[in-house]
Structure 1
């Protein structure tokens, strides 16, 4: 049987454990009195309110330095990249099977919706050959130069709704990325080459793959809300000897001060893609 001393020690340990949570003799909860808890909670309340106020003040001052139309700090490169549509760097299809190229046709048709004449008629009929510079106004809204999809001729999807894919002569659309304030010099145009012994004929739309300077500069998403990038369409005139082969095509922006030979960035002023047509 347990001794009287053991029972007393056990009772004392139990009492000590309970007192660490709440001590009825001193009125302490977790080792602090009510007034002590009130003071420490008040301290943290004031401390965190001060931090929240400092954060709000910092954000307010930072927002005062921002411009809704033009970003103050631009970490993007000063030269645009070049991208293609359909949005794939590996284009492969069977020209005899509509299901195999339907995804490319649907993508091009969807992409060109904003270039429909019914939308572009609302835009400005700008003067070709020079930058379309616009002064700041109160609303900061900029006008947009008209680019009709009909200017892409046989690659517009208007006369040929399959964009040449059904005949094994596909159309590829190219555009430059938007960069605020970009004003390319010279007479920029897009030129494509295929790494192949025998050259392949290509048709460019608009004529000679020109990217008219009247579509520059771009003033930003908010100021230039309805802006659409100028396009260049390349129709690859493939023949039977080109079918069932994976061809590598490289397109570059030429004729201007835009960079297209940076080995660290394969998409800076150029783009390389592969295409394979199965007969």
Structure 2
């Protein structure tokens, strides 16, 4: 029977040479590790910064740093160029004056809010207008507040740019392309800066503005026989007193006390521009034209009862302005307190 040779073949000379090199490398690494362990922390840091044995600084040789530096310079340079090209292409699709998303597709939607001035500056969450007509230092802070807000109306050239043309508009003469309607400060009557907006006489003027929504066009309550039931009777009478249908194309404004007691304490009111009581339709739609200024309604509270906080709600009236008192939709709330 043939015999089977189970003895292992001795390793070849080539394999022995490889194993010996590996052993030498391993032993050398172990030696370096032992030498490394003997170094102090300061010596390790100095060796990491610059190792004279290998001419390495921060773990790399000069040629290694140059190669990796060149790679990242080219890589981030191309990346920056790609981002710049993408941004350039993106901005070519945008118009600086026309928003991409409008009306229902925009974040602010189609229901403009109502704002008031002056607003308290010492507490952003407060809506209390509290002053003393007999104390000049006290009421002047409210006057200064209004002066800052109305400065661009008194000096419209501060916001005029480009070739925007300002014209005096009427309900029969709407602005054309490139034109904007003038807001005449003389229409504010007693509510002007020369008379301190009547704060020194305890008859404060409050200015109302409608928030701008690009492309929004109001739907008017211009039919005196089709007015909402919750509209104040005084406003209904005012609308019915206007004979021309076109002159009724306004966003109407009403300011009332929130509660029966507030209505009694608030007393008589005068709206400016006189005979209007609202925002004329020729200011809409807002198209972000050069020199455009939002129309304002000034309300002079003739003689509010002093020493009592009076809750006031002002509301904008148009068929496509939704109203909700709790969410302050289509209206604005503030308090008056006269000492």
Considering the TM-score relative to the shorter chain, is it more than 0.5?
yes
The TM-score by the shorter chain falls in which range?
Answer: 0.7 to 0.9
Between the aligned partners of 1:11 and 1:109, the Cα distance in structure 2 is: 75
Report runs of 4+ in structure 1 exceeding 6 Å deviation: 9-12, 117-120
The structure with the larger Rg is 2
For residue 191 of structure 1, report the CA deviation from its aligned partner: 0.6
Question: Counterpart of 1:41 in 2: which secondary structure?
Answer: helix
Between the aligned partners of 1:76 and 1:68, the Cα distance in structure 2 is: 18
Alignment of 1:163-174 (within 5 A): 163-174=197-208
Query: Which protein has greater RCO, CA pairs closer than 8 Å, 6+ apart?
Result: 1
Higher helix content, 1 or 2: 2
Alignment of 1:109-188 (within 5 A): 109-116=147-154, 123-128=166-171, 132=174, 134-135=176-177, 142-157=178-193, 161-186=195-220, 187-188=250-251
Between the aligned partners of 2:211 and 2:132, the Cα distance in structure 1 is: 30
**Unaligned stretches of 5+ residues in structure 2:** 1-33, 121-126, 221-249
TM-score by length of 1: 0.78
Aligned equivalent of 2:286: 218
For residue 65 of structure 1, report the CA deviation from its aligned partner: 1.3
The question of whether the paired residues in 1 share the 8 Å contact of 2:156 and 2:291 is answered with no
Question: Counterpart of 1:178 in 2: which secondary structure?
Answer: coil
Aligned equivalent of 1:244: 307
Q: Do the aligned partners of residues 98 and 34 (structure 1) sit closer, same or farther apart at CA in structure 2, a change above 3 Å counting? A: closer
Aligned equivalent of 2:299: 234
CA root-mean-square deviation: 3.1
In the alignment, is residue 38 of structure 1 matched against residue 38 of structure 2?
A: no
The question of whether the paired residues in 2 share the 8 Å contact of 1:20 and 1:31 is answered with yes
In the alignment, is residue 90 of structure 1 matched against residue 128 of structure 2?
A: yes
Between the aligned partners of 1:269 and 1:162, the Cα distance in structure 2 is: 29
Q: Number of aligned pairs?
A: 253
The question of whether the paired residues in 1 share the 8 Å contact of 2:133 and 2:200 is answered with yes
TM-score by length of 2: 0.65
Q: Do the aligned partners of residues 11 and 144 (structure 1) sit closer, same or farther apart at CA in structure 2, a change above 3 Å counting? A: closer
In the alignment, is residue 104 of structure 1 matched against residue 104 of structure 2?
A: no
Question: Counterpart of 1:229 in 2: which secondary structure?
Answer: coil
Between the aligned partners of 1:225 and 1:185, the Cα distance in structure 2 is: 25
Question: Counterpart of 2:290 in 1: which secondary structure?
Answer: coil
**Unaligned stretches of 5+ residues in structure 1:** 1-8, 136-141
The question of whether the paired residues in 2 share the 8 Å contact of 1:117 and 1:150 is answered with no
Which of 242, 253, 257 is 1:190 aligned to?
253
